Structure 1
Amino acid sequence: MKKILLIEDNQDVRENTAEILTLAGYQVSIAPNGKAGVEKALQERPDLIICDIMMPELDGFGVLHILNKNSDTATIPFIFLTAKAEKTDMRKGMTLGADDYLTKPFDDTDLLNAVEARLRKRDLLLQSYDNTEAGLQTFIKDVKKILKIEDLAKDQKLKNYKKKATIFDEGESASSLYFVKSGQVKLFKAHPDGKELIVSLHKAGDFFGFEAILQNESYTESAVALEDTELHLLPKSDFLAIMYSNVEIAKSFISLLCSKVQEKEEQLLHLAYNSIRQRTAESLLKLHSLKPTEDTLSIAREDLAKMVGTATESVIRVLSDFKDEGLIDIISGKIILKHTGKLEQVVRWSVARK
């Protein structure tokens, strides 16, 4: 049963509105003023708040302002009730983040329609989505319903890239958000001396290319397919429409994107402070995470060196040490992981020995 908090100083309006909502099957909690309403909202975390504007002690605008500053209540749908129908009041309420606005006197149908619409929207926003093509399409479909934008993502497309094909170059204008449907992609930075530093690796279910869009900059690295890869491209305009149209929608999307941002930050820190030995172990584990069911890695030593951020010869020496220690085996150029746990120890500054 959905919980609704009704904040209203007029006893008759409060009782009548609460009765209508109760008969409609909602669990209703009431507060006679704004101060008491804020306290109940923080205690009970209702699914929706209906609040009068003109109240003593703390008016509706003050209630909304306080609740919006608290992360636990900021996302609760909020409907204003007021006897005033002035546009300035409506504009102020919407600017503060109100979801809807009902002018008193209102009829039962208007009230229940507003409540049902806001709760339905919240239910959509609280859904979790899989990091799959189907999950992405379901997310876009739900966003179209919420924002009522039928043309959203109409220009999205799937593109196939052959192994070693360039997806975009460093310095190119950012035009799309990329989602890996299948395959693998590496992002790397080129240095004047011709060397490359692999910044990140992306497998099925990963997004990339969004940082440049959010920063309104060109791509700061290049992207190449490591194997035959299928990518879903979402145009920049659609990505920005999703990100900037609704706080809750943006949060849902960010939850799918932020893991790679954190991964990049950690990689740069490790590059600065960890030894070549640690970075090599970490890179092997990262490659293994792309296909966790397989212990055999097929990667050119030059590409592995780019991931580690060092010379190819240095990586070859570390791999030789790992082989002598029994952490890996090398057969026909392929690296076979024998003890991933001990490689993790290397990353954590411990020396792994047989």
Structure 2
Amino acid sequence: MKKVMIPEEGPDSSTSLARVVHPLNPVATVDELVKSLIAAGSITHVKKKRAVYAEGKAATAVFYILKGKVKTCKWNEEGKELITGLYQVGDFIGFDALMDGARYRDTAVVIEEAAFIEIARADFDFLFRYNNSFLRKFVDILTGNIAEKQEQMLRMAYSPLRKKVAEALLHTYRKYNPNNLQEFSIDISRYNLAALAGVARESLIRTLSDLRDENFIDIRNGKIVIPDTRKLEQLIYSNKKPAAQANE
């Protein structure tokens, strides 16, 4: 099974929200919480390819990403990796397991040097007790994550290879380019893109070459550019059967 480098010590949790926010005057928004913890020096830096938390470990904290990119992933018995989520600045990771008091369900690994704010379980309980808007926000995030992972499972189970790759490309594009900037290039390794699509790396590379030849994507200096996302959407959502199959 593939091994992941786990820090010998987890992110520093010595700074508790209880010492930052008075219990009779809890912060009102996530932005206020982040600013309070930054002011208290509660920032952890993690290098690329290092793990933030590991699958199966007790969920003791939630992490807010201040800088960098993170993937959550799992491995099967043969050591094949499956990426279950991509995250960047402004995202929370690890809260789904924390909310039900369980263990982390996957492993979070840094794919671009990152900085985090760690929010301990006791602090989360405090915020939920005194501020219902926090609870509503995280329920909304959790609901969105569940729906996204359900779609991913369906794609990997039923979609043909081209659609799997196209959906992984579009998902990555939308995740890392929320403002829909033109000529945005996707900076993700072929290994990670294959793990997100749930396909072999060799199959991914062949499919990317085909999509480039058909003008769905462009590849510049190793980075993937999607000139027109609508073409990929048509590929993904088209239900047209191949001619040979339609004539059966």
**Aligned counterparts of 2:146 and 2:51: Cα–Cα separation in 1:** 22
CA contact (8 A) 2:96 2:142 kept: no
**Aligned counterparts of 2:239 and 2:153: Cα–Cα separation in 1:** 20
Once the two structures are TM-superposed, the CA of residue 135 in structure 1 deviates from its matched residue by: 5.0
- Aligned twin of 1:7: none
Once the two structures are TM-superposed, the CA of residue 174 in structure 1 deviates from its matched residue by: 1.0
CA separation of 1:336 and 1:153: change in aligned 2, threshold 3 A: closer
The answer to whether the aligner puts 1:337 opposite 2:218 as a matched pair is no
**Aligned counterparts of 1:231 and 1:164: Cα–Cα separation in 2:** 15
The answer to whether the aligner puts 1:314 opposite 2:199 as a matched pair is no
CA separation of 1:175 and 1:245: change in aligned 2, threshold 3 A: same
* Correspondence for 2:56 among 171, 176, 196: 171
- Aligned twin of 2:126: 241
Once the two structures are TM-superposed, the CA of residue 299 in structure 1 deviates from its matched residue by: 2.3
Once the two structures are TM-superposed, the CA of residue 184 in structure 1 deviates from its matched residue by: 0.9
CA separation of 1:311 and 1:164: change in aligned 2, threshold 3 A: same
- Aligned twin of 1:224: 109
User: Counterpart of 1:182 in 2: which secondary structure?
Assistant: strand
- Aligned twin of 2:31: 134
- Aligned twin of 1:265: 150
- Aligned twin of 1:180: 65
* Correspondence for 1:287 among 172, 181, 186: 172
CA contact (8 A) 2:156 2:164 kept: yes
List per-residue Cα deviations over 1:211-230 (Å, max 9, x = no partner): 11122221111111110111
List per-residue Cα deviations over 1:136-181 (Å, max 9, x = no partner): 447xx7xxxxxxxxxx999882211122221111112211111112
**Aligned counterparts of 2:196 and 2:148: Cα–Cα separation in 1:** 13
Task: After TM superposition, list the pairs within 5 Å mapping 1:6-25 onto structure 2.
Answer: none
- Aligned twin of 2:185: 296
- Aligned twin of 2:43: 158
How many residue pairs were aligned? 212
CA contact (8 A) 1:243 1:253 kept: no
- Aligned twin of 2:215: 326
Q: Structure 2: which 5+ residue stretches go unaligned?
A: 1-24, 241-248
Name which one, 1 or 2, has greater alpha-carbon Rg: 1
Percent identity reads 34
Q: Structure 1: which 5+ residue stretches go unaligned?
A: 1-120, 142-151
Task: After TM superposition, list the pairs within 5 Å mapping 1:26-45 onto structure 2.
Answer: none
CA contact (8 A) 1:156 1:233 kept: no
Report the AA paired with residue 87 of structure 2.
H
Q: Answer 1 or 2: higher relative contact order, Cα 8 Å, separation at least 6.
A: 2
Task: Note the aligned Cα RMSD (angstroms).
Answer: 3.0
CA contact (8 A) 1:186 1:200 kept: yes
Report the AA paired with residue 166 of structure 1.
A
- Aligned twin of 1:212: 97
**TM-score, with normalisation over the residues of structure 2?**
0.74
Once the two structures are TM-superposed, the CA of residue 255 in structure 1 deviates from its matched residue by: 3.3
User: Counterpart of 1:315 in 2: which secondary structure?
Assistant: helix
Which deviates further from its counterpart, 190-199 or 163-172? 163-172
- Aligned twin of 2:75: 190
CA contact (8 A) 1:305 1:312 kept: yes
List per-residue Cα deviations over 1:41-66 (Å, max 9, x = no partner): xxxxxxxxxxxxxxxxxxxxxxxxxx
CA contact (8 A) 2:45 2:114 kept: yes
Once the two structures are TM-superposed, the CA of residue 256 in structure 1 deviates from its matched residue by: 4.7
